[in-house]
Homo-oligomer: A and B are copies of this chain.
Amino acid sequence: MKFRIDNLQYCNWTREVFEINREANLDAVHVTIVYHEDFDELKEQIKVWEKLLKDNSDLIFLGKDFKDIEKANSEKKTAIFFGFQNCSPIEDNINLVEKVHQLGCRFMQLTYNNQSLLATGCYEKIDSGVTNFGKEVIREMNRVGIVVDMSHSAEKSTFDAIELSEKPIAITHANPTFWHAAKRNKSSDLLKTLSESGGILGLSLYPHHLKDNTNCTLESFCEMVARTTEIMGIKNIGIGSDLCLNQPDKIVEWMRNGTWSKSKNYGEGSKNKTGFPKQPEWFKDARGFVNLEVGLKKIGFSETEINGILGNNWYNFYKTI
């Protein structure tokens, strides 16, 4: 079978976005439903999603496991998998891991950019790795079936998570630093270890993760994919576009600052570029998957390999959860 999966989007969700994802033939999307929210605030977001799922049931449904990707494919719908970009919904309580799984959570980042109770984020100066509580939580996530996502984590913490987790982990949205040395991108050593452990990397289309940002070319991106497969092999990469369609700039400000700072933090942006960056022309939304298909073919990937990168590798990863 041929699947198309975008394993990270955080859009301002409307019917229009779900329609675009269907036009792109996406069988599954891992959607970020919370960043800094605690457990009660998570429940509010779940309610928002319950309404979205109900109002757009002809386009989407809540995905629980890999079988729902097959179902989506046959019904021409998109399975929506819930994920968190920070561990704040489980607060300081190991028992909430099972609860958030029951609410639909399938991916949870151990950290956003800063230190969390579980591990260190990529914007901290020193990385102490996975904490005492973090070790307990990874074990519990393995048990209940939530994927450890280290996209925004610091390097040692990520190596720790790979070692500690009994199930393969994911970096749902990031690129290799050999191509673009952003703080959020990942070293070749780390990517090699990730793939050797059965883990997977979702390549990001978010301009701050791209060489030349908005001006990144499709050719450059596809060359990067080819070089990444030399490090990771062909079966451990997919797409995690990090698309933030129609989000107002106040959202990225909130993502970066939450409630942790009285001064303003610009994260991947800068004082002069505070808002969401503009997407490259060839990936303005998920319909850019067809451009990726063309670009990957041009650089020499076979059809099977392209299907792997654009969806089947994620599908196989979901089978391991």
| Chain A positions near chain B (C-beta within 8 angstroms) | 36, 38, 88, 91-95, 114-117, 120, 123-129, 131-134, 136, 139-140, 258-263
Contacts and interface: CB of A to CB of B under 8 A. Distances in A.
A50 to B, nearest CB: 25
Nearest to A40: B40
A93 B254 CA distance: 13
Given A94-B260, A259-B95, A114 B132 contact: yes
Identical copies of this chain, number: 2
Given A115-B115, A132-B115, A133-B114, A258 B124 contact: no
A131 B114 contact: yes
19 contacts: A36-B92, A38-B91, A92-B260, A93-B260, A114-B117, A115-B117, A116-B117, A117-B117, A123-B132, A124-B128, A125-B128, A125-B129, A126-B129, A132-B260, A133-B260, A136-B260, A136-B261, A136-B262, A140-B262
B114 A261 contact: no
Contacts of A131: 114-115, 124
A146 to B, nearest CB: 15
Contacts of A117: 114-117, 260
Nearest to A91: B38
Contacts of A123: 132
Contact of A259 (B93, B120, B124): B93
A119 to B, nearest CB: 9
Contacts of A120: 128
